[in-house]
Structure 1
Amino acid sequence: MIKIVPPKPFFYKEGEKAVLLLHSFTSNTIDMKKLGKYLQKNNYSCYAPLYSGHGLTAEDLLTYRPSDWWQDVLNGYQLLKDEGYEKIAVIGISLGGVFALKVGQELEVNGIVTMSVPIHREALFLQKRVFHYAKGYKQLEGKNEEQINLELKRLQNMSIGSLVEFQQLIEITMDKLALLTSPIRILYGELDDPLYKESAEVIFQSSATNQKTMKGYPNSKHLMTLSTDNNDVNKDILTFLNDLTW
């Protein structure tokens, strides 16, 4: 059996302007490493928290709830404040994008970037994501197919209460889009599920700020920061950050 080394949060310190980087559901901080290093080279300090249970087994992941993950985001924001950063922007992808919107609704930020954000997702769809993640993780561990199938069957009996809470979190956050008054950049991949383009349009129309832009990337699927468009994505995000009032 192969022991998988769990991923970690990262903190790239550089300039006085700070960026909170928020990864996606069932993924980890690797979503944000290329972007973080790019922004660091351009004089931005970047911190990416790792949500509880992420990077571990699916069984461990399901023992945590979105309220735990949201607390990880709040702790990340507070860490930047405690380090002396007074000006903070937030960037998130997928679940991280939902959290970025929530940060913008509840905390003081200079700007918001969202990527691949859903305006709704059913708990059963999220459960499929967990099963897909579980299968890949178990394969990486070196388990045989019979063992994997047995463990996936057991996984089906675990409570999906956390995923129902996740579905509700998305709905509540989308109901409060009118609270967004900070500048916002809304990005989506043209090769992703059409839901994400529709979601981008809803977020664009519903945000209260008059400093908002939306863009699709022709060669991007869901994880835009790791797509073949990632250089363009990074440059556009840097331009947005540089244009903010800090």
Structure 2
Amino acid sequence: MNNQSLFYESGERAVLLFHAFTSTPRDVISLARALERANYTVYAPVFSGHGTSNLDDLFNYSIEDWIKDGEEALAFLKDKGYEEIAVFGLSLGGVVATHLLLNEEAAIGGGTFSAPVTTTYDHHVTENFLSWYKTVKRTKGYERDELAGLMSKAEIELKEMFANLKTFVSKMEEEYPTLDKKIFIGQGEKDELIEPDTARIFRESLSQAEVSIKLYEDGEHVITTGSVGKELQTHVLTFLSTLNWDGGDN
């Protein structure tokens, strides 16, 4: 287990949390702690290429790798004896969580936070990432010419990465009408990376699911932290209490 992963073994009910692109489980640590206090076992792994000192490590991986990470995380909890698992993810993590909800029987319910789970809108991750990437490389002492080359390569890598992600999501979209689990959708209305209307489109595509959607008026992209994160914790805990754990009604 990557030493940045979170694993809080508490109650008999398990929750899997996935972090956002470029980040680590620090995105979800507050939520994880709240769930632990409520007697849930929580596992939040680190996606491949994330949590390192070199941003370029991200370019060695793709959505297929992160989906595999998600499947392995679910298997980790199953190996620990948890047969029914709720799965949630922030942004990129929401794509992985949605895949598991569509394809894994053990994923009994869960959902997304600020996730690009439809192809209707383009996201704004590339430009935000490149600005951050440039700042980081400058602080490491790269000269202008060398930095320009790195930026060009990074832009090409990102475009390919997100084109693959969009193709993957488009295939998932075809399956949304078949999903009949309980789903939670959380979305900040001031999200600077994902078009907030994505949440509505996702909800409307889940024609057989029982959907709970929460829109956070002051929420930006990372709705798992700060005051909005506190609201989200309450809503997620309420949602979890409605799931059919052990195949029974709650």
Which residue of structure 1 aligns with residue 6 of structure 2? 10
Whether the 8 Å CA contact 2:66–2:96 is kept in 1: the answer is no
Which residue of structure 1 aligns with residue 77 of structure 2? 80
Q: Would the alpha carbon gap of residues 32 and 195 (structure 1) be closer, same or farther in structure 2, given more than 3 Å must change?
A: closer
Shift of 1:211: 2.0
Amino acid at match of 1:32: V
Q: Secondary structure at the match of 1:238?
A: helix
Q: Would the alpha carbon gap of residues 159 and 12 (structure 1) be closer, same or farther in structure 2, given more than 3 Å must change?
A: closer
Which residue of structure 1 aligns with residue 225 of structure 2? 226
Deviations, residues 125-157 of structure 1 (Å, cap 9, x unaligned):
543343234235436x64367465564345346
Deviations, residues 168-204 of structure 1 (Å, cap 9, x unaligned):
1222222221121110111100111495432111121
Q: Which runs of no fewer than 5 residues in structure 2 stay unpaired?
A: 246-250
TM-score by length of 2: 0.85
TM-score by length of 1: 0.87
Q: Note the aligned Cα RMSD (angstroms).
A: 2.4
Q: Would the alpha carbon gap of residues 170 and 33 (structure 1) be closer, same or farther in structure 2, given more than 3 Å must change?
A: same
Instruction: Number of aligned residue pairs: give it.
Output: 239
Q: Secondary structure at the match of 1:110?
A: strand
Distance in 2 (alpha carbons) for counterparts of 1:22 and 1:173: 18
Distance in 1 (alpha carbons) for counterparts of 2:224 and 2:153: 33
Which residue of structure 2 aligns with residue 203 of structure 1? 202
Whether the 8 Å CA contact 1:183–1:209 is kept in 2: the answer is no
Quick one: which of 99, 102, 106 aligns to 1:102? 99
Q: Secondary structure at the match of 2:112?
A: strand
Whether the 8 Å CA contact 1:183–1:211 is kept in 2: the answer is yes
Q: Which runs of no fewer than 5 residues in structure 1 stay unpaired?
A: 1-5
* 2:45 is aligned with 1:49: yes
Distance in 2 (alpha carbons) for counterparts of 1:29 and 1:159: 22
Distance in 1 (alpha carbons) for counterparts of 2:202 and 2:158: 31
Quick one: which of 16, 21, 27 aligns to 1:25? 21
Which residue of structure 1 aligns with residue 109 of structure 2? 111
Q: Secondary structure at the match of 1:77?
A: helix
